């Protein structure tokens, strides 16, 4: 579990004095969501500030422990009272009386951005001590809201990110990714990058940063895995693989795009191959195959979860190696437009039936097998490039990673040497 740091939230930066009406309700909505409340209903009721809400602004069900230790769902009503001064007793009394008319209500929570007066607190204590079966009353004031925002910094990031310290915003970014598969704006990524040498980034946070960059197509601008030690980068890959089943289960349930996850894992594998042997990286994948949650991973699950990562890595290697290869020409059938749309299907946008969705993903691979391989693979005459022959399966992962390591190392060296040979232009003098 993540340890909550009190330094993440800057309370003075939370605009409590302006947190009224729907702003206060929205803050409460996202806090309840972060707390794991179920069946949350925000009873906005209309477009005006005085829209009828049936005696509560929000309604939710929350798991509450009983005296014997069991958990049961209880119905909570929430009434928000944005105030400049303290909340008087009659406001709470009227809300409690109304809620008690509904037998399904277990607890009424009155929420304010300010404080409750002492008479209000005394009245609530007397109300809750009454043995009659009726809704209990809780009071959440500004201090309570501060405490809850500290426990759930992702809510503060969503509503008023300047109330979070930089460490708090980093943790909120990680929380939003791991718990909700939500990505953060580029502006925050830029701020974190500027302060990267001041932050203590954990592997689980680093992976969240890398996935966020991949979702924004900005990994080359902020390559987070290169800003740490090889050991920490390897540990980040280890953490990501340990959570791979969880990640893909979330992907399947939510229907989000899995490309940022695959790209991030492919990137981390290549980072690991820069420093460690292909055998060691293969053993890391094997450890994931061996068990998950102390149980052997079923073979069918492995094919769904792990093989897509290796196939994505294969595509990436092909993309960096083939374009400059004197031996291979690789042509896809389609032509790409600037917005990554297939030109061959463009005109279906203007047809009533639309496009059938049947794609021709065939690739023409032309290879001069009499030419030597510049990457250094010892190919006898007539033998094809390993990228064309290598079928990416779990059972041959070690051989594939050895191929990946050799291609990546050679192409990386070529790129770095090419940069070193570029002589910056010198200014000429008349």
pLDDT tens readout for residues 200-221:
999 999 999 999 999 999 999 9
For residue 345, tell me if it sits in a domain: no
Establish if 343 belongs to a structural domain.
no
Q: Per mean pLDDT, which of 80-84, 163-167, 244-248 is the most reliable?
A: 80-84
For residues 147 and 208, state if they share a domain: no
Distance CA 209, CA 219 (A): 9
Q: Which domain holds residue 244?
A: 166-334+363-417
Residue 133 has pLDDT above 60, yes or no: yes
Give me the sign of the Cα torsion angle 10, 14, 16, 21. Answer: negative
* Residue 136 covered by a domain: yes
Between 423 and 197, residue with greater pLDDT: 197
Q: Are residues 125 and 194 in the same domain?
A: no
Predicted TM-score of the model (pTM): 0.68
Last residue of a domain, one of 153, 182, 217: 153
Q: Is the same domain home to 145 and 227? A: no
Domain membership of residue 430 (yes or no) is no
Model confidence pLDDT, tens digit, residues 12-47:
667 788 788 888 999 999 999 988 899 999 987 543
* CB distance 149 to 168 below 8 Å: no
The pLDDT, as a whole number, for residue 289 is 65
Q: What is the pLDDT of residues 380-393, one digit of tens each?
A: 877 888 888 757 77
Number of domains in the chain: 2
* Domain-embedded: residue 339: no
Q: Of 50-64, 138-152, 286-300, where does mean pLDDT reach its minimum?
A: 286-300
Q: Are residues 328 and 379 in the same domain?
A: yes
Q: Do 290 and 296 touch, CB atoms closer than 8 A?
A: yes
Give CA–CA dist 334/362, Å, rounded.
9
| Residue 336 confidence (pLDDT) | 44
The reply to whether 32 and 120 lie within a common domain is yes
Whole-angstrom CA distances from 86 to 15, 81, 83, 109 are 17, 10, 7, 16
Residue 273 shares a structural domain with residue 413: yes
Residues 190 and 278 in one domain: yes
Distance CA 185, CA 212 (A): 9
Q: Please give the Cα distance from 129 to 269 (Å, whole number).
A: 61
Phi, psi of 195 (to 5 degrees): -105, 20
Residues whose CB is less than 8 angstroms from the CB of residue 267 and which lie 6 or more positions away in sequence, other chains included:
210, 214, 219, 225
């Amino acid at each position: 579990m993540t340890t909550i740091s009190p330094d993440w939230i800057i309370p003075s930066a939370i605009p409590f004095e302006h947190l009224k009406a729907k702003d206060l309700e929205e803050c409460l909505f996202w806090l309840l969501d972060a707390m794991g409340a179920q069946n949350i209903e925000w009873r906005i009721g209309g477009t005006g500030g005085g829209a009828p809400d049936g005696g509560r602004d929000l309604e939710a069900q929350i798991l509450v422990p009983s005296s014997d230790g069991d958990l049961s769902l209880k119905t909570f009503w929430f009434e928000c009272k944005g105030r400049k001064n303290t909340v008087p007793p009659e406001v709470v009394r009227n809300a409690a009386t109304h809620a008690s008319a509904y037998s399904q209500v277990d607890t009424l929570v009155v929420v304010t951005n300010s404080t409750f007066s002492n008479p209000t607190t005394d009245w609530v204590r007397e109300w809750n001590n009454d043995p009659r079966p009726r809704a209990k009353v809780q009071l959440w004031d500004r201090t309570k809201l501060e405490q809850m925002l500290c426990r759930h910094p992702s809510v503060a990031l969503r509503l008023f990110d300047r109330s979070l310290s930089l460490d708090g915003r980093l943790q909120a970014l990680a929380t939003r990714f791991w718990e909700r598969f939500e990505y953060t704006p580029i502006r925050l990524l830029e701020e974190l990058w500027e302060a990267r040498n001041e932050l203590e980034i954990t592997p689980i946070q680093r992976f969240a940063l890398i996935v966020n960059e991949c979702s924004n197509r900005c990994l080359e601008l902020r390559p987070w895995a290169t800003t740490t030690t090889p050991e920490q980068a390897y540990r980040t890959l280890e953490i990501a693989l340990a959570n791979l089943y969880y990640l893909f289960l979330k992907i399947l349930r939510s229907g989000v795009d899995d490309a940022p996850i695959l790209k991030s894992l492919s990137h981390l594998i290549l980072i690991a191959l820069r420093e460690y042997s292909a055998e060691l990286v293969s053993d890391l994948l094997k450890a994931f195959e061996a068990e998950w949650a102390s149980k052997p991973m079923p073979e069918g699950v492995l094919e769904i979860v792990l093989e897509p990562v290796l196939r994505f890595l294969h595509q990436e290697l092909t993309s960096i190696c083939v374009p400059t290869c004197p031996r291979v020409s690789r042509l896809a059938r389609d032509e790409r437009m600037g917005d990554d749309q297939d030109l061959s299907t463009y005109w279906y946008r203007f047809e009533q039936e639309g496009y059938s969705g049947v794609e021709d993903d065939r690739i023409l691979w032309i290879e001069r097998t009499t030419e030597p391989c510049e990457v250094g693979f010892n190919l006898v005459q007539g033998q094809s490039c390993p990228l064309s022959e290598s079928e990416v399966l779990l059972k041959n992962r070690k051989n594939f990673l050895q191929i990946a390591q050799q291609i990546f190392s050679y192409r990386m060296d070529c790129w770095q040497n090419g940069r070193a040979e570029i002589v910056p232009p010198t200014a000429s003098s008349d």
